[in-house]
Chain A
Amino acid sequence: NAGVTQTPKFRVLKTGQSMTLLCAQDMNHEYMYWYRQDPGMGLRLIHYSVGEGTTAKGEVPDGYNVSRLKKQNFLLGLESAAPSQTSVYFCASSYIRGTPANTEAFFGQGTRLTVV
């Protein structure tokens, strides 16, 4: 099993360009997440999904859109990139198991995005 796979790993965008980050998981997890990581800020939740066809806003959703058309995929879109969106983006997935519920999150390798 590959776990959680993110593509691309690196990208440089010009201000105003658009792009889509793809996250794929092969663990049949219900929950998927997109985070951004900036120095000193930890991991901030952008959007998340609790199942196929559903999405919800996280802590910092502005400027991003997401879609979960298939259970195994979670796409993060930037419609008009801004320098403030320069960051490392992590996708994660999790499922509920056991009692009490354990929701261990499995992370992808990250996408380093630079907006110039």
Chain B
Amino acid sequence: GQQVMQIPQYQHVQEGEDFTTYCNSSTTLSNIQWYKQRPGGHPVFLIQLVKSGEVKKQKRLTFQFGEAKKNSSLHITATQTTDVGTYFCARNTGGFKTIFGAGTRLFVKA
């Protein structure tokens, strides 16, 4: 189908450790978006990637789009307790219908 698969489902890290979540699709993606949802909150847009092999950085966050445009990753360097939450990737399909992955929930222990 049109799903994007995210792994892992959960990740527990010690504060200061790095964290990576992966998003995979069986079909070529026109773009990939990443969102963050804090516990009890609503999803908030982080970034959109559209080009093959694209890499973008936001402070400690690094986003990559695969060469084949079928996978993407979000890497957080030196996690902080403020990074706690669920990270979702999402794809736009025809008509700008936005479909989300199941998300990776990050737990950070101080």
Interface positions of A (Cβ within 8 A of B): 31, 33, 35, 40-45, 48, 50, 56, 58-59, 90, 92, 94, 96, 100-110
Contact = CB atoms under 8 A, between A and B. Distances in A.
B98 interface: yes
Given A40-B9, A42-B88, A106 B98 contact: no
A10 to B, nearest CB: 13
B92 A103 contact: yes
Nearest to B48: A102
Interface residues of B, number: 24
Given A43-B103, A107-B44, 19 more contacts: A31-B96, A41-B102, A42-B103, A43-B43, A43-B90, A45-B98, A50-B95, A58-B97, A59-B99, A92-B98, A94-B98, A100-B50, A101-B96, A102-B48, A103-B96, A103-B98, A105-B90, A105-B98, A109-B41
